Amino acid sequence: MTELTSAASTAPIYVYEKPVRLWHSLNALLIVVLSVTGYLIADPLASLKGEASEHFLMGYIRFVHFSAGYLLSIALLFRLYWAYAGNEHARQIFLPPLLKTHYWQGVFHEVLWYLFLVKEPRKYIGHNPLAILAMHFVFVWGVLFMIVTGFALYGEGAGQGRWQHTFFSSWVLPLFGSSQSLHSWHHLFMWLIICFVLVHIYVALREDRLSRQSMLSTIVTGWRTFKDDRPVDDESGA
């Protein structure tokens, strides 16, 4: 890492391994599916005519939502394992270096960059410090919140004695006071994640054009390329 930093070259670096990239695309797909189906569960489509036995629309929508929720959870579990098994960049969004001054200086610089107050952003191999902050606190914890509340809601229907109820509903429901409040929080956090996605896509597009390293191509290939040959500012070991 330190050698790389001092090498200060424009040579591409392999940052995001295949499982990380796969997780990213899967999450993108699942979040769209979960948001659409989740919204339709709270606010269903126009009523269907005819006999109840002829339709199963809500049933299918809920099935898709639950399946996608399971996939999201399993994917997160796998990703947590990969944070341990993968390279150093794989744990960046799970373990932000919150106690390091250099990191916070980086955050501050990035904020100034977005406020048009500095001419140039810093150069990073991994995520920039502000991105790490947002991904950790909004995305990772947001998704974890959705998984926990989601399983708690699922456990309500699954019933007592099922593991979803034992491990989630049994303590989450009393925590939120009522099922109604739990539904509201689950719904609100969907909007939080939608806001995150909007900002995430915008800054990725913007950084791709204006930052000093590659963005969109890195999502696909995992290789980071650089636009200048000055040293990178990554927190060593971050």
Partner 1 sequence: MTETFYDVMRRQGITRRSFLKFCSLTAASLGLAPSFAPKIAHAMETKPRIPVLWLHGLECTCCSESFIRSGHPLAKDVILSMLSLDYDDTIMAAAGHNAEAIVTEIVEKYKGNYILAVEGNPPLAEDGMYCIIGGKPFVEQLKYAAESCKAIISWGSCASWGCVQAAKPNPTRATPVHKVPGLANKPIIKVPGCPPIAEVMTAVVAYLLTFDKLPTLDRQGRPQMFYSQRIHDKCYRRPHFDAGQFVEHWDDEAARQGHCLYKMGCKGPTTYNACSTVRWNEGVSFPIQSGHGCIGCSEDGFWDKGSFYERLTDINQFGIEANADAVGGTAAALVGAGIAAHAGLTALNRAKQPGAEKQ
DSSP codes of every residue in the chain: -HHHHHH-----EE-S-HHHHHHHHHHHHHHHHHHHHHHHHHSPPSPPPS-GGG--HHHHHHHHHHHHHHHHHHHHHHHHHHHHHS-GGGGTTTS--TT-HHHHHHHHHHHHHHTT-SSS----SS--HHHHHHIIIIIIHHHHHHHHHHHHHHHHHH-TTSHHIIIIIHHHHHHHSSHHHHHHHHHHHHHHHHHHHHHHHHHHHHHHHHSSB--HHHHHH-EE-BSS-SPP-PPTT-
Measured from the CB atom, the residue of 125 and 153 that comes closer to partner 1 is 153
Residues contacting partner 1: total by CB under 8 A: 48
Q: Closest CB to partner 1 among 77 and 198?
A: 198
Q: Rounded distance, CA 37 to CA 61, Å? A: 6
Kindly tell me which residue out of 5, 32, 56, 216 binds partner 1, with binding defined by CB under 8 A.
56
Q: What mask of x and - would describe binding to partner 1 in positions 150 to 169, judged by CB under 8 A?
A: ------xx-xx---------
Asked if residue 18 binds partner 1 (CB under 8 A), the reply is: no
Which CB sits closer to partner 1, 14 or 60?
60
229 binds partner 1 (CB under 8 A): no
Considering only 17-25, 86-94, 133-141, 179-187, which stretch makes contact with partner 1 by CB under 8 A? 179-187
Q: Which is nearer to partner 1, 22 or 194 (CB)?
A: 194
- Determine if 225 is a binding residue for partner 1 (CB under 8 A): no
| Under rule CB under 8 A, residue 178 binds partner 1 | yes
191 near partner 1 (CB under 8 A): yes
| Site of interaction with partner 1 (CB under 8 A) | 42-49, 52-59, 61, 114, 116, 156-157, 159-160, 170-171, 173-174, 177-184, 187-188, 190-192, 194-195, 198-199, 202, 206, 210, 227
